[in-house]
Chains A and B, each alone.
Chain A
Amino acid sequence: MMARVAASLRRIDKAVLVASGCSVALLAGGALYEPNLLSADYLLQQLQVASFLGVMATGLLLVVLLGHIDLSLPWVVTIGGMMSTSAAGWGALGSALAIPFAVLCGLGIGVVNGVGVAYLRVPSMIFTLGMNAIAQGLMVVHTSGFAPQDHASPAMHFVAVERSILGIPNALWIWLAVAGLTVTLLTRTAFGRRVYAIGNSERAAFLSRVNVKGVVLICFAISGACSAFAGALLAGYSTKAYQAMGDPYLLPAITAVVLGGTSILGGRGTYLGTMSGVIVVTLLSSILSIVQIPEAGRQIIYGVVIIVMLLVYGRGEQVAG
């Protein structure tokens, strides 16, 4: 029995352990200042907020595992939010289809990203940056000609805010469902193996008859869909969609993925790690704002904590012959 526990502990990533340890330490440290931090209500609320970041980080993880990056996240999130609320303004049918419509829009941007990166071979960093500008341009045009409806539909409110089962936020259930799907995709399907293979060596994957372009395209499409879905959830959470609502999420999403032990060069990383990264990032910013450190100090502590955590386990290999 002990041996089995030890064996399963060994299988867990060092990154997951350190990130979870940091979360516990943050909570313990914060509880000294504000005992309410350990209440179930606060924890559930943090997990609810973390769900939005978690859904975004899911798509980003797939792309980073390939060795690429998706910088179009901020404005695809905004597209998700604004398209869902606009759809909610089109009568009963639009209101019912608000979330699927938003996801479809994000999927479209993701497919364009995938075509640019996989087929045109433009470095993902610059192509997704350009798509981010285009997404921003589309939304500016969308809102400045006329005033589209910007209030969330009842369904979006239900999904993002309410707690229907066991008092656990619906957003958290959704994140758990997304997590289950992603873990299955990455560890139990041939597609998942191909993602890791491409991340380790695109060339070797190509020579093994992996459809490299197709896999890259699908991952970018999923990333766009996830970001837009998270945008629709956010709009439901704050009851409104607004310009630049996705801007504060790019850096936390990248940070969460990397703190979860995923190599930014691709090929290495787990979804469990990303989940613990998302939770530690959410707790860090929440606790820093609770202990009322001014914004300047918060930014500095945020940066230092990330570097220190990465120094513990994220160091690269030394160059050697």
Chain B
Amino acid sequence: MRQDWVYRLSPLRKLFVALALCLAMFGLFISQHPAGFSSNVLNTAANKGALLGLVAMAQTVPVLTAGLDLSVGMVFVLSNCLASSLLAGSSSATALGVLAVLATGLCCGALNGAVVVLGRLQPIIATLATGAIYHGLALWLRPEPGGEVNEDFADFITGSFAGGVPFSLVLLAGVLLLVWLPYRLSVAGRAAYAIGSSEQAAHMSGVPVARAKFLAYVLAGLLASVAGLLLTCLTYSGEANAALGGSYTLNSIAAVVIGGTSLFGGSGGAVGSVVGAFVLRTIGDLLFVFDMDPMWQPLFLGVVLIISVGLGSFRLLRSKNRLELYR
């Protein structure tokens, strides 16, 4: 019986490590914070973490199929630019705006999926190129930073409930429960894992390979646009910032890896990526509360990233056959 549990929980080991790391760092952050634990501190941390968490979740789905989406950051920026002009006016107009932004995310994802599946191009280079297109569209929508946002709606999204629970955390949990979980349990979700493990075996077993891959990119586009909405609510404006998009794309890959998803596909999940995103964001906060000179911050972030991915190479010591190391 015990053996059974060990077997079932072993794929989640990396997730638990990341979660423990995240909680420990957050505890340290709170204990050192001058204001102590308050709903405000929690809310700020949650908003920052949720932003990267959603983009990381978007990145996870194509990575599970052994693909990659280098355009998530640009879809995020494009959604931000679109939302900064659509989330205005009455509440019904705002609701329509939200739907329009989500639909745009879906379309971007569908274009990625079409290029990767129908065009049979390598995902890395195909999404790099579509990312340039989305950046162009974002620049076209918003040549100068600015915009107008329904502030009541924005404040609700980025605020907290009466109990001090940040809405962004509820949003994150909602997306995990209502989008990720049904997807994970669906045929398309299981197909994504199967494709990541072995595309040929999946194809031979009658898994709908093309459809599942396409859906993975569509879902990535949708999730990235949710993050774009959240960013718009945080800043009340839109900006076609290529550097921002690029850094979110790269950080999303780091969050996915820290969260225990293999870049070779087939194992991991969105929950881990969200935890990984919070780990990355808490590292930045820790530097702030420890009063470190800001000039050391980028170096420290890089060192932590390298160490956390380097720790995984301890598994090499356990490998019995050297051939296993090579693909």
Interface residues of A (CB under 8 A from B): 69, 71, 116, 120-123, 125-127, 129-138, 140-141, 144-145, 202-203, 205-207, 212, 247, 251, 254-255, 258, 263-265, 294-304, 306-307, 310-311, 314-321
Chain A residues whose C-beta falls within 8 Å of the C-beta of B124 in the assembled complex:
69, 254, 264
Tell me whether A137 and B301 are in contact (CB under 8 A). yes
Within 8 Å by CB of A134, from B199, B209, B303, B309, lies B303
Within 8 Å by CB of B305, from A133, A295, A300, lies A133
Shortest Cβ distance from residue B241 to the other chain A in the assembled complex, whole angstroms:
13
* Given A123-B264, A202-B327, A300-B137; A140-B200 close (CB under 8 Å): no
Residue of B nearest to A318 (CB): B120
* Given A300-B132, A316-B120, A319-B209; A137-B302 close (CB under 8 Å): yes
Tell me whether B126 and A319 are in contact (CB under 8 A). no
Within 8 Å by CB of B136, from A203, A297, A310, A317, lies A297
Tell me whether B323 and A207 are in contact (CB under 8 A). yes
Interface residues of B (CB under 8 A from A): 68, 115, 119-122, 124-126, 128-133, 135-140, 143, 199-200, 203-204, 209, 240, 243, 250, 253-254, 257, 263-264, 295-303, 305-306, 309-310, 312-313, 316, 322-323, 325-327
Shortest Cβ distance from residue B324 to the other chain A in the assembled complex, whole angstroms:
9
Q: How far is the CA of A298 from the CA of B303 in the complex (A)?
A: 36
Chain A residues whose C-beta falls within 8 Å of the C-beta of B120 in the assembled complex:
315-318
A-B contacts, 7 listed (Cβ < 8 Å): A206-B322, A264-B125, A294-B139, A297-B136, A303-B131, A311-B119, A319-B200
Q: How far is the CA of A174 from the CA of B190 in the complex (A)?
A: 52
Tell me whether B299 and A137 are in contact (CB under 8 A). yes
Q: How many A-B residue pairs have CB under 8 A?
A: 171
Main SS of chain B's interface residues?
Answer: helix
Shortest Cβ distance from residue A223 to the other chain B in the assembled complex, whole angstroms:
17
Residue of A nearest to B325 (CB): A121
Tell me whether A303 and B253 are in contact (CB under 8 A). no
Within 8 Å by CB of B309, from A122, A132, A136, A247, lies A122
Q: How far is the CA of A226 from the CA of B156 in the complex (A)?
A: 51
* Given A140-B298, A307-B115; A127-B125 close (CB under 8 Å): no
Q: How far is the CA of A69 from the CA of B68 in the complex (A)?
A: 13
Extra 17 A-B pairs, beta carbons < 8 Å, given A140-B299, A263-B122: A120-B310, A120-B313, A122-B310, A133-B298, A137-B299, A140-B298, A145-B295, A203-B327, A206-B323, A212-B326, A254-B125, A296-B138, A307-B115, A307-B121, A310-B125, A318-B120, A320-B203
